[in-house]
Structure 1
Amino acid sequence: MRVPFRLIGGVLVATLLTQITACGSIFYPDRRGQIDGKVDPAIAVLDAVGLLFYIIPGLVAFAVDFATGAIYFEPGHTAQVAPEKLKEAIGADGKVDNHKLQAILQSELGRNLPLDDPRLIQYKGSTQQLAMFGLKPAV
């Protein structure tokens, strides 16, 4: 009777220890020590996954990442690209060339995003957004 309780206890302790560790501190140890900045949404989502399983470890993960500063983007590094650089990927007809866009994102962000994935959902821009790029909306 004692063995199942030890087994269950061991599994519970191992699970809690894996959930308590903060994702930002594990994936980006070089970000520690920051005071503020823009929150990295990927790390915030990974920390929030801990909330789905156990409330306390999820809160601890958020607390550790915010306290160490590992949840913030590095200073000077963001996941945004200037609109002027993205203009090269937009054709004269207002359509986006995915291959050019993928090359721009690769060079600017250093990440290879699969823009040719059939599950990718694309939204049409508004006329104001097209006017900002100096393009005429196509009918």
Structure 2
Amino acid sequence: MNPGLRRALNGLVVGITITALSGCGTLFHPERKGQMDGRIDPVVAIANGVGLLFFILPGVIAYAVDFSNGTIYLPGTQTAGVDAMPLDKDMDVAALEKLLSAKTGKTISLDSELLLVEEVDSLDEALALVRMSGMGDAERLETL
């Protein structure tokens, strides 16, 4: 076999394997990280399925990475934000859950794995945490 053709085929196989191992949705749509559910993006699902053609393991890993990151789902209506609310030092968990439920319009349980509650020292720190979560990245990138 021609050495140039062999090198090109090796490069192609390595490129496809790296793409499959890292998760296609994670590469194509990093702004979707953190989505919990929704409709599955058929383009990402098919791209991950291509990994199944090159042995089984790369495709399975691509699906696992995309499902764990949430990048296989089409964009939803999830939003994140920061509301500054002064809290009493003697507020118990039940009172805080009631306050959060009233503010969000949803039943909130602080024991939920899907809820992250952190005490921060400043509003700037809270805003930095929201920015690091990746929520709203698409809208911020559109304004650039």
TM (norm. structure 2) is: 0.42
TM (norm. structure 1) is: 0.44
